[in-house]
Structure formats: C-alpha cells, structure tokens
Amino acid sequence: MRYLSERLHTAQSGGASDEGAQQHSIAAAQRQRILAATERLVAERGCAGTSIKRIAKAAKVSSITFYDHFAGKEEAFVAAFDQAVKEVLARLREEVPANQPWPVRIREGLRVLLAAIVADPRRARMCLVEAPKGGPQLLAHYEAVLDGAVLKLREGRRLDGADENLPAPLEETTAGGLAFLLRERLEASGTDGIEEMLPRLVDIALRPYMESADAPTLSAAESP
C-alpha cells in the first residue's frame, strides 16, 4: 500500500506540474501577443490613440486577460518598448566587434542600428517617433536609452588628441541630435534610403573627438 500511495502521489504531482507548465506557456503566449499588438498599434495610432480595448482586440484576448499582465496601457507601452530595446542591444553586442577601436565601434553601432530600423520599421517608429511623446514612464525609459548612448559617446574624450575643453553637455546634445534626425527621417519618408544617413550620422558622432580629416574618412569606410 505504501508503494501504491507513493506512485499515486508522484502521478498527481506530475500532473499538477504539467498543468502549471501549460498555464505558464499560455500566459507567456498571451503576454507576447499583447506586446506585439501594443507595438503595432502605438506605431500606427500613437500612444494617445491606443486603448486597452484596442490592444486586447488586436491581441485576441479579453480586457480581463490584459489586466492579468499589465496594470494599465502605459505599463504595456513600457514593456513593449523595453523588449524592442533589449533585442536591438543584443544585436549590437553580437554584431559590433568589442575589440575594435572606439571610432569603429561607434560607426558599426550606427550601421547596425540603421539596419535594425530597416528590418522593422514599425518597431522603429514606436521607439523613435512615438516613445518621446508618450507618458512619463515611457519617456523615462526612452531617456534612459539615450543616457546609454551618452556613455558610449563619452568614451571619445579618451582618444589621443581629443580636445580637453569639450563642452560638458556635448554627448547629451549629440545623442539627442542623432535621435532627432532619425525621428525626423522616419516621420518624413519612413525607412526609404535611411541607411544612406550613415556617413552623416558617423560624422556628427565622431567629429568632435577626432581630427577633422579623420572623421569623414572613417564615416565613409566599409565594415571591417
């Protein structure tokens, strides 16, 4: 009897475990559909035009299920934005050679960013066009991404020959300017020809730290 009860307990435990795993898988799929719907709707309609009702309908879930995952629509906006940024950062880490000099890493980082924009215009619009116009939480996450870019740009101050008297807010201005140019281009003409912006973006990023003859040369160089 003791062995029979142990077998029954093991079977029941396994069944509960399988059911829990299935429920977890269903919840994960629901959450991913909500994030995909949020990304699409924000890109198409903006944050103001994206409601929980619309997100739920596009994700094929109920409003109750939406609230199982998110406290409100801005929390969903932030989660969709963070997921997009995480995937782009992973691509940058994979494709930008960490052992290359700082100017090359900046150039290749911008090249990968432009390629990511072309690969997913909807996601690019959400992150670069709509996020700065979102609520305070979304805006804070957008600004945190710019802060990360600021830190990368600031490494240029350590280059041999870099001007020691560069203005303190230079990197904030540069990062904001690069984002503005991309946002302006996306709003004006989408992703058509956006990769042709690479030399201009590289020149803006590098010129303050490098000899005037070097930055244009690097901006026009091919990938290593």
Domains with residue ranges and CATH for the chain: 2-219 (1.10.357.10)
Helices (H) and strands (E) in the chain, counts: 10, 0
Tell me what percent of the residues of the chain surpass a pLDDT of 90. Answer: 77
| Per-residue confidence band for 160, with pLDDT thresholds at 50, 70 and 90 | confident
9 pLDDT above the threshold of 60:
no
Q: Which two tokens stand for residue 1?
A: 């009897």
> How far is 70 from 86, CA to CA, in rounded Å?
19
> How far is 171 from 152, CA to CA, in rounded Å?
9
Task: Tell me how far apart the 2 most distant CA atoms of the chain are, in Å.
Answer: 87
215 pLDDT above the threshold of 90:
no
> How far is 149 from 137, CA to CA, in rounded Å?
19
Task: Over range 100-111, report the average pLDDT.
Answer: 96
Is 51 in a helix, a strand, or coil? coil
| Per-residue confidence band for 117, with pLDDT thresholds at 50, 70 and 90 | very high
The reported pTM is 0.85
The reported pLDDT for the residue numbered 224 is: 45
Task: Over range 51-58, report the average pLDDT.
Answer: 97
